[in-house]
Structure 1
Amino acid sequence: MMSSSISPIPSGVSNLIPYLTCADAPAAIEFYQRAFGAVELMRIAAADGKIMHASLQIGDSMMMLSEEVPEWGSMGPNALGGSPVGIHVYVEDVEVAWEQAVEAGCEVVMPLEDAFWGERFGALRDPFGHKWSLSMRIRDMTAEEIQAAAAELQPGCGD
């Protein structure tokens, strides 16, 4: 039985946190620090030095990662031939954040553009195979306005 004085979710932590697997986790941590301004909160290494767990903070959100270790059943997207999952980050200034990520080594998948849903948006892939998208809102739009804009671009979309 859990004590009523202990919160089941740590204070200040979202209940949904991406957990990435990366080949060369120490290099990934350094990369995320350069590319996205990540702050390392915790690192736990196994006896062989491989990172079993690390926690990072980007903006007001947390992410976690561990080393790619096949014998642990832990494989990253490069080893698997890609990933169906992406990480989206809202930023204050997408131009600055984009330049920082690209200069750090992210590959441009979709260039920054003003999107029909009212955001300046672009997609990247980091050297570890993880997909990232960066955006900032440039106009307020209702769900109905977004659906209408989508239908205007591609008739039948949003119906």
Structure 2
Amino acid sequence: MEDQTTALAPILYLKDLAAAIDFYKNVFDAIEKWRVSNPDGSVHVAEMIIGAALLRMHEEVSNDNNFSPETVGGTTVVMGLLVPDPDAVAAKATAAGATVLSPVKDYEYGYRQGTIKDPFGHHWMIEKKTAEPPLGSE
């Protein structure tokens, strides 16, 4: 068994994991590491890599109150995805069916970013660090 360092591995709950896997592969160049399928062929759980980030996906589990944004009608988490070209990734996402929540633009705290909602209801802040943010206010 290999040594493991501390890392954050978010889990997105979804109704249709197969469609989400295809979307994340197409838009974010995600690589599928593994999946476990249900007897009916639908995907139960999967793990992907986006750049150096680990992303897990799981079908809804109502008895644990783990629901998709579709079911709850919103989300409480925004996934921040740092990329070399946020404009290109946001454009690719919208071409694949995502909705722009806030267009990509430069912010005074040193980031170029915009937010999209993927077709499954998850919000993604597509961003790039452009400068060091100010340490404090005068």
TM-score, structure 2 as length reference: 0.89
Contact 1:35 1:102 in 2 (8 A): no
Q: Does 1:133 align with 2:104?
A: no
The offset of 1:137, in angstroms, is 1.6
- Compare relative contact order (CA 8 Å, sep 6+) and give the higher one, 1 or 2: 2
Report the 3-state secondary structure (helix = DSSP H, G, I; strand = E; otherwise coil) of the residue aligned with 1:128: coil
> 1:21 maps to what in 2?
13
The offset of 1:94, in angstroms, is 1.4
Q: Does 1:123 align with 2:115?
A: yes
Q: Which has the higher helix share?
A: 1
Report which of the two structures shows the higher radius of gyration computed on alpha carbons: 1
Runs of 5+ consecutive residues of structure 1 not aligned to the other structure: 149-159
Runs of 5+ consecutive residues of structure 2 not aligned to the other structure: none
TM-score, structure 1 as length reference: 0.78
Q: 1:83 aligns with which of 58, 63, 75?
A: 75
Q: Give the direction of change, closer, same or farther, for the CA distance of 1:125–1:60 in structure 2 (3 Å limit).
A: same
> 1:143 maps to what in 2?
135
The offset of 1:97, in angstroms, is 1.4
Name the CA distance, whole Å, in 1 between partners of 2:135 and 2:22: 38
Aligned length: 138
> 2:85 maps to what in 1?
93
Name the CA distance, whole Å, in 2 between partners of 1:6 and 1:32: 28
Report the 3-state secondary structure (helix = DSSP H, G, I; strand = E; otherwise coil) of the residue aligned with 1:143: coil
Q: Which has the higher strand share?
A: 2
